[in-house]
Amino acid sequence: MQKVKLNNGIECPVIGIGTFMISPADAEVSVREALKMGYELVDTAAAYQNERACGRGIKTSGIPREKVFVSTKLWPSEYENENAVDETLERLGLDYVDLLFIHQPAGNWLSGYRLLEKAYKEGKAKSIGISNFEGKYLDELQKEWEIVPQFIQAEAHPYFPQGELRKTLDKYGIKLMSWYPLGHGDRSLIEEPLFKRLAEKYGKSSAQVILRWHTQMGFVVIPGSKNVAHIKDNLDIMDFNLTDAEMAEIATLNKGVRYYTRTDEALTGFALWHPEYEKA
């Protein structure tokens, strides 16, 4: 498995199994089967309400814990909960996570970031990250962090390659983990003539070409699926390389188009999640 080195020296696989919008029952199967196929990265979150299921999938896969890079996220309602990290580990059934994010710049997000820094110092999180911190939020965080994050999780795909954000990330050696990597199912992206041509050239699907673009951009990508065949196909992207000319062609597809636009109003319900809600 190809890996990227983080700014703290830890290595992270370039592709993982995502579990956003996947039920606990499906997440357990997806994680278990993905790990058995050769995946080494699992991404979940408190808000996905499937951390327990992901933990079971990791355990039943038979893959040694040290071979699995586990990523999860604290939701804003837990940012002032001093026990949030321990409760997260309990749900996952783990002694530590490899990557711990704060999920949104909402509520007392600085308190949440302090929880990450504390967990990092205590060895409960081997690396830390921020999710959806762009623009003014990232500017504010830079003034406050004691430990520079290793990751940011943000929307990224060929229609929105995060050029402006990457200027800040490159400055600090922060890696980008892509969500909506395939354009949130937008057929116009998948069916771009360029991707169809490259797919035919390399004997791959358009989706596989796009995922390979992510990894060659230096991104870590976490496509989610409950379809075992799709999970297998998503991993099968390391046996070809897009040329510099092809990467340049893909760069021309940048439309500055997001599929999700964050608004502060959209986060007014962040307290609706509570750890006791996750039972499965």
Q: What is the mean pLDDT of residues 145-172?
A: 94
Which of the two residues, 193 and 272, has the higher pLDDT score? 193
Average pLDDT over residues 112-116: 98
- Considering the candidates 39, 48, 120, 180, report the single residue annotated as catalytic: 48
Q: Tell me the mean pLDDT in the region 183-201.
A: 92
Q: How confident is the model at residue 39 (pLDDT cuts 50, 70, 90)?
A: very high
Give the tens place of pLDDT for each residue, 211-239.
Answer: 999 999 999 999 999 999 999 999 999 99
Structure tokens at 123: 């060895």
DSSP tally for the chain: helices H, then strands E: 11, 10
What's the pLDDT score for residue 186? 81
Active site residue 48: yes
Is the per-residue pLDDT at 268 higher than 80?
A: no
In this structure, what DSSP letter does residue 116 have?
H
Q: What is the pLDDT of residue 275?
A: 57
Q: Is the pLDDT of residue 280 over 90?
A: no
- Tens of pLDDT, residue by residue over 10-35, are 999 999 999 999 999 999 999 999 99
260 falls in which pLDDT band (50, 70, 90)?
A: confident
Domains of the chain: 3-277 (3.20.20.100)
* Residue 257 in this model has a pLDDT that exceeds 90: no
The answer to whether 168 and 133 are in contact (CB under 8 A) is no
* Average pLDDT across the chain, whole number: 92
Crossing angle between the packed helical segments 206-216 and 228-235, to the nearest 10 degrees: 50
- Backbone torsions φ then ψ of 3, nearest 5 degrees: -135, 160
pLDDT grade, residue 266 (50/70/90)?
A: very low
Q: Is residue 276 scored above 60 in pLDDT?
A: no
The residues that bridge with 175 in the sheet, in sequence order, are: 151
This prediction has a pTM of 0.92
